[in-house]
Structure 1
């Protein structure tokens, strides 16, 4: 049941529920429709949601019970909130991996943003369903990754153009391209006054600058075939062999 082997918030929560003492301390009261209440341990609740033979009706009842306990259990709210986060991690891990792959974000930061979003949602009455809580957590992680991507250190203008990433389709709101704030720091001049230069530039202009820079590099390098042909014509015009020696 442990999600991944790297150090992360999701992994820390999973290790907590790997402890038998933490599992035995909780007993979730689930009330399926038109049936007698069922008492489940955290492990049994996990199996009801993600087991090999899931019961959709029982799974819906488990989500309702754990959400209710995480919001209304007096004096023990924290442990039920932790249980809610643990049961929600399989439904969030895929989004974390997509964000990290597409936007090159840090996985630990993304998981932390999602957990904070879940906890804030549990303390708020505005979000009244599990799906809405998970959707809000995914959106918050996407926005946090995009905001971090706008402040990436880069040595060249070409790198800024190449670092523009496309968000995943799972993100419900795709933000339009915003102007970039570029900060230029000058180093290596300790004997004089210097200051950072900050200016704003549009993404389209960054792309144009990148193409111009690449075109300039190509013109400086030149075409090696053209250089060889021009040298060959000069040798022939002087009556010499292009190899520099004539055979008899």
Structure 2
């Protein structure tokens, strides 16, 4: 069984090993009794998971694959280690899908954890154990479950710094619309991440401000009708003026 998701880690391993070169991967020299056979990766996998698998052949394939992987030099291409991972993949899918159905986990992360756990176990595996492949697969499955359970216990929290930065962000002055009769707000000093600290200044038309003051005074004195009749339209002739002064100011 292989994954059809191109973003899947398992699918990437399949593509790397089988590739477009016809799967020209080194064969395994597997010895069972007095017989030695060269098995391609596909033949090895079929022997491991086929309906008529032979226990002695299975053990010999895993023993040879693990031995060759552990003999690889540190600066090699890792072909032997990759082959071991690829041979183990069919043994991981059942638990992979079970975890994905039960828990909210990203598949790519889960597959990466499985590969990491398998490679870690490969470093200390004993090829002469009765079932080295089964041990590797169990370690990979345990790694997937451990990761999934750890993620399930994590509680998402709000990024306070990012939230404060977004809240205090202001658009540059040149990007702000300026309505004809709107308010202008100046903040001094600029907003800080730890909170808003500013002096507010409201700017508006002097004519409008004086008109509002005059209207408020007329309303308080009970003369709104008189003030309405005394308004001067821009196209009308000037017939008089109204001046507001502080109480006690000189005339």
TM range (shorter): 0.5 to 0.7
* Counterpart residue number, 1:149: 152
Structure 1 unmatched runs, 5+ = 154-181, 195-248
Pair 1:42–1:126, CA change in 2 (3 A): closer
- Compared CA separation, residues 6 and 97, structure 1 to 2 (3 A): farther
Paired position in structure 2 for 1:106: 106
Q: Secondary structure at the match of 1:21?
A: coil
Secondary structure of residue in 1 paired with 2:38:
strand
CA distance in 2, matches of 1:69, 1:22: 22
Q: Which residue of 1 aligns with 2:55?
A: 56
Aligned-residue Cα RMSD (Å) equals 2.9
Q: Distance in 2 between matches of 1:90 and 1:117?
A: 16
Corresponding position of 1:4: 4
Q: Distance in 1 between matches of 2:25 and 2:101?
A: 38
Deviation digits for residues 148-170 of structure 1 (CA, Å, limit 9, x no counterpart): 122243xxxxxxxxxxxxxxxxx
SS in 2 for 1:25: coil
SS of residue paired to 2:97: helix
- Say if 2:66 is the partner of 1:71: no
Contact 2:103/2:152 (<8 A) preserved: yes
- 2:142 matched residue in structure 1: 139
1:107-159 C-alpha deviation (Å, 9 max, x unpaired): 11011011011112222358963222222222222121122122243xxxxxx
8 Å Cα contact 2:18-2:24 kept in structure 1: no
Report the TM-score when normalising by structure 1.
0.57
Contact 1:2 1:15 in 2 (8 A): no
Q: Residue 18 in 1 paired to residue 18 in 2?
A: yes
Larger Rg: 2
Q: Is the 8 A contact 1:69 1:77 kept in 2?
A: no
Structure holding more helix per residue: 1
Q: Distance in 2 between matches of 1:45 and 1:133?
A: 16
Matched, 1:96 2:96: yes
CA contact (8 A) 2:29 2:37 kept: yes
Unaligned runs of 5+ in 2: 169-190, 196-251
TM-score normalised according to structure 2 size: 0.56
Classify the secondary structure of the residue corresponding to 1:29: strand
Alpha-carbon distance between aligned partners in 1 of 2:42 and 2:59, rounded to the nearest angstrom: 16
CA distance in 2, matches of 1:15, 1:183: 39
Q: CA deviation at 1:97?
A: 1.2
- Contact 1:17-1:23 at 8 Å conserved across structures: yes
Partner SS, residue 29 of structure 2: strand
Q: Is the Cα contact below 8 Å between 1:29 and 1:40 reproduced in 2?
A: yes
Q: Which residue of 2 aligns with 1:225?
A: none
Contact conserved, 1:67 with 1:84, CA < 8 A, in 2?
yes
Deviation at 1:23, TM superposition (A): 2.9
